[in-house]
Amino acid sequence: MSVKIGFIGAGGIAGAHVAGLKKMADVELVAFSDVQEERAARLAADTGAKVFTDWLKMLDTEQLDAVYICLPPHVHGAPELACIERKLPFFVEKPISNDLDTATNILGKVRRAKVMTAVGYMNRYRRSLQRGKELLAGAKISSLEGHWLGGTPGAPWWYRKSQSGGQLVEQTTHIVDAIVYLAGRVTEVYAVGAKGTHPNPPEGYDVEDATAVTLKFASGAVGSINSACSLRAGGGVGLDVYSPSVVLSYRDWNMSLKATKSRLETEDVRGEDNIFEIEDRAFVDAIMKKDQSLILCNYGQAFHAHHVTMAANRSLETGMPVQLADFV
């Protein structure tokens, strides 16, 4: 048996998934759809897959077992709903939307239809995060500090806030999800932003150059996240988790871990380079075995990180803290 997969969206992140899926003997890449036909054709090369510019036509004409939705944040919604209507399992790349209403609507329909889903928060599949969660078992987290600091990605939709939702929603959301995975539910968010510091903003750029977010957790812990997309050098990705029994320090895109248990006892866990392949293998196995539990981040689990980033955007707009229970 092979799992027949179609792609809606054929940009860079789709290519990262295709590279791993092509290695799997039990996967058949059947169809690719993209508004730019040449991008779909490029990913379809050497696979025998059909090429579409209309994703709905692809869903209606191809016999698919699952769909990957790899689209910019502002065009989520209709593809997910079409998959739900057809009871098609789908993998959707983060962020799941650029607003809260779209994601809330999809979540409700996913739950009612009981459709298998996965969301591309790949860090949950890293041994470093899983080991960190093991080390924190029974511990009381005091505080967390996360950051994603760098330059501006080149896609025009990324630096237009009405389309991407901003850096926190589109990029730093990986850190938000890692925080939620390790520390549990966030109850309150407060955010401030900076503008006017970018040395050479591209035309149409209107996202914050930097944001600082504070978090309160149901557990009593507190946290902070700093983001910047206006740097010309330096920066990086990281997360530090502090508890009385262990301190976890994650660094770089692959989230390598240094766990400090005492002045004399540390543990290192390097982040995997092939994390997309690991994540995709779990999704394929879940479909073949009809076992949603093999997926470490389904739509419902991803929703909380999205809710947090949306609350941060609301706080940026109002200048006030946002209680997540009241922000629906």
The ranges assigned to domains in the chain are: 3-122+275-298, 124-271+307-326
The domains spanning 3-122+275-298 and 124-271+307-326 adopt the same CATH topology: no
Joined tokens for residue 157: 């939709």
Q: At what angle do helices 12-21 and 37-44 cross, to 10 degrees?
A: 20
Closest CA to 59 of 82, 36, 40, 91: 82
pLDDT tens sequence across 73-93: 999 999 999 999 999 999 999
Joined tokens for residue 328: 């629906």
| CB neighbour list of residue 35: distance below 8 Å, 6 or more residues apart | 53
Does the pLDDT value for residue 262 go beyond 90?
Answer: no
Quickly state the pLDDT bin for 47 (edges 50, 70, 90): very high
Residue 57 Ramachandran class (φ > 0 left, ψ -120 to 50 alpha, else beta): alpha
Query: What CA–CA distance (Å, rounded) separates 323 from 282?
Result: 34
Quickly state the pLDDT bin for 328 (edges 50, 70, 90): confident
Task: With beta carbons less than 8 A apart as the criterion, state whether 142 and 220 touch.
Answer: no
Q: What is the average per-residue pLDDT within 18-45?
A: 97
Q: What angle do CA 299, 310, 176 make, to 5 degrees?
A: 65
Computed over every residue of the chain, the mean pLDDT equals: 97
Does the pLDDT value for residue 259 go beyond 90?
Answer: yes
Sign of the C-alpha dihedral, residues 272, 275, 279, 280? negative
Task: With beta carbons less than 8 A apart as the criterion, state whether 97 and 76 touch.
Answer: yes
Enumerate the H helices of the chain as residue ranges. 12-21, 37-44, 55-61, 78-85, 100-113, 127-136, 161-164, 167-170, 173-183, 275-289, 299-318
Q: What is the average per-residue pLDDT within 281-303?
A: 98
Residue 236 Ramachandran class (φ > 0 left, ψ -120 to 50 alpha, else beta): left
Query: What CA–CA distance (Å, rounded) separates 280 from 278?
Result: 5
The CATH T-level fold of domain 124-271+307-326 is Dihydrodipicolinate Reductase; domain 2 (3.30.360)
At 8 the three-state DSSP class reads strand
Structurally, at CATH architecture level, domain 3-122+275-298 sits in 3-Layer(aba) Sandwich (3.40)
What is the share, in percent, of the chain residues with pLDDT greater than 70? 100
| CB neighbour list of residue 174: distance below 8 Å, 6 or more residues apart | 94, 121, 123, 148, 237
pLDDT tens sequence across 129-143: 999 999 999 999 999
Q: If residue 117 lies in a helix (H) or strand (E), which one and from where to where?
A: strand 117-119
Distances from the Cα of 274 to the Cα of 36, 68, 182, 254, angstroms: 27, 18, 22, 9
Does the pLDDT value for residue 174 go beyond 90?
Answer: yes
What pLDDT was estimated at residue 59?
98
Does the pLDDT value for residue 145 go beyond 90?
Answer: yes
| CB neighbour list of residue 219: distance below 8 Å, 6 or more residues apart | 140, 141, 183, 184
At 294 the three-state DSSP class reads helix
Quickly state the pLDDT bin for 30 (edges 50, 70, 90): very high
Query: What CA–CA distance (Å, rounded) separates 20 from 238?
Result: 26
pLDDT tens sequence across 236-249: 999 999 999 999 99
Backbone angles phi, psi at 115, to 5 degrees: -85, 140
